[in-house]
Amino acid sequence: MFIVENYPVAILLCVVTMLCWGSWGNTQKLVAKSWRYELFYWDYVIGIVVTALALGFTLGSIGEGGRSFVADLSQVEASNFWSAFAGGVIFNAANILLSAAVALAGMSVAFPVGVGLALAIGVFVNYFATPKGDPLFLFSGVALVVVAVVVNGIASGRMSSAGGGNKSSRRGLMLSVAAGILMSLFYRFVAAAMDLDNFVSPVPGMATPYSAFFIFSLGVLASNFIFNTIVMKKPFTGEPVAYGKYFAGSIRTHSVGILGGVIWGLGTLFSYIAAGKAGAAISYALGQGAPMIAALWGIFIWKEFKDGPKSNNILLTLMIIFFLAGLGTIVYAGL
């Protein structure tokens, strides 16, 4: 299987993770006018499962090092299986809330607040479970990211005060906070199922990134029949959605949702692969720099702050500066 051998390559994969995690939301925005996010989310989940399988049988089965995807999957112990599976369930609950927040408040609000909180809490959880990297620089970087989240929250509040926000935006902000708290926990469950110290000859019974990600995707898929069904029947906004509407969607609409899952899934697997050299805390932290990417999409492409006060431009610039400084500090923590 494909294994990362050095820290710079691991960082490169983390950057790809950040781009993927910060960009998949664009696919939801593309179909938002004609397709409810609850319906979009089914295709998104399908995209994640398909990506897990495709990468398992390709990157997870080539090369000389490590076990092949099928061989590795067949020997995973029950405790590790259910740990990765639980990670998928927790992630799915968090991501459904985040998707609802995107629908209500926009990418430039939902991602920085929700994923920013997930970063701040998740780094602590992952670092103390498997310490790797200089804690001073790591937590200093996280602190800078938290400042960026606060600055974004201030800009969002000014949007509401200026008339650019409403009750839905405030509800979206609250959903973002709930999503962030839940999302901070999922990565640890998946990382606990893997032998992060040795992907070449992992401990028997433990998973590699490829098998762990596939099991994780099964957790996402299984829980979606519960979580998304509930949200469809009792949505955060709008009327209840029937399953029949999903099957009435066009091929193009379904394809956009699946693409969103593929983008997110590719980034997630790269994060797990990078964790072997960078450590779970650093790999997670860099990937969760996604709010900066999402905010840039929201600001420059979707124009989500165009009706706000001009002083918001200063705040949004500061947000980006703090995010960049925080991410750079986190990278330095692993050198």
Domain parsing of the chain, residue ranges = 7-132+169-292
| Phi, psi at 207, each rounded to 5° | -95, 160
Question: For residue 70, what are its two tokens?
Answer: 């099928």
- Rounded to an integer, what distance in angstroms lies between the CA atom of residue 77 and that of residue 110? 37
The DSSP 8-state label assigned to residue 56 in this structure reads H
pLDDT at 166: 59
What is the amino acid identity at position 45?
V
Measured from the Cβ of residue 91, the count of other Cβ atoms closer than 10 Å reads 25
In the chain, which stretches have pLDDT less than 50?
Answer: none
pLDDT at 11: 93
pLDDT at 226: 97
pLDDT at 41: 93
How crowded is the C-beta side of 90, counted as CA atoms within 13 Å? 19
